Amino acid sequence: MKVTEPRLTAALDRPSADVRLFLLYGPDESTAMAHAARLARAMGQGAERIDLDGPTLRGDPARLSDEASSLSLFGDARYVRVTGAGEESLDAVEALLAADQAGNPVVMIAPTVKATGKLVKLALTSDRVLAFACYPPNARDAAAVVSELARAQGLRLSPAAVQRIVRGSDGDRAVMAREVEKVALYCDAAPDRPRDADE
């Protein structure tokens, strides 16, 4: 099913066995990777990550459901991250959704998949999939992203500083995050010791 960003982030922060797949599609790969990192944090520091990609799934469609249902060797939490996925992953997703069980969440980053593609259409019809379209943010949304990233780092950025980071990053969420991290490090900011920063 299609979800809003707040619903997606809430689901990523508290993974549920009811959701087998988080499908992050659209051209803004850095936003998709940021959401995938959110799932990684929710799974815990010792969680095992299984990395797959689109070409691997094309050659072995059953691998995705196998990995999603496998237990960790040491009993730790585990999840599957698929990068570079495209329409070739359709058979693998169908197998995942048809499997009797799949205890490990899957996050799939599909930057080349269109909203009209078969993979997205399948995701929208299943209540076991949360699908979210990742597009580069406009100027207002980018400012909100920078402010949110800054708050998480313990920074209170002035509006001028926020706009400077937005302009310098050209709307790339990964660049915004790195710039905010640098400012936080320079100001010795942290969530437990917030700092103000201007231009």
Reduced to 3 states (helix: H, G, I; strand: E, B; else coil), residue 64 is helix
- Can you name the residues that pair with 79 across neighbouring β-strands? 49
For residue 189, how many other CB atoms are within 10 A of its CB? Answer: 21
DSSP 173-190: HHHHHHHHHHHHHHHT-B
State the Cα–Cα distance between residues 166 and 176, nearest whole angstrom: 7
State the Cα–Cα distance between residues 185 and 199, nearest whole angstrom: 15
Tell me the pTM: 0.80
pLDDT one digit per residue (tens) for the chain, 199 residues: 999 988 999 999 999 989 999 999 999 998 999 999 999 999 998 899 999 999 999 999 999 999 999 987 776 889 999 999 999 999 999 999 999 888 899 999 999 999 999 999 999 999 999 999 998 888 788 898 899 889 989 999 999 999 999 999 887 888 888 999 999 999 999 999 999 999 8
pLDDT value for 76: 81
DSSP-assigned letter for residue 2? B
For residue 195, how many other CB atoms are within 10 A of its CB? Answer: 17
Taking CA atoms, 61 is separated from 94, 119, 126, in Å, by 9, 14, 19
pLDDT value for 81: 97
Structure tokens at 124: 């929208």
Residue with tokens 């001028």: 160
Terminal-to-terminal C-alpha distance of the chain: 42
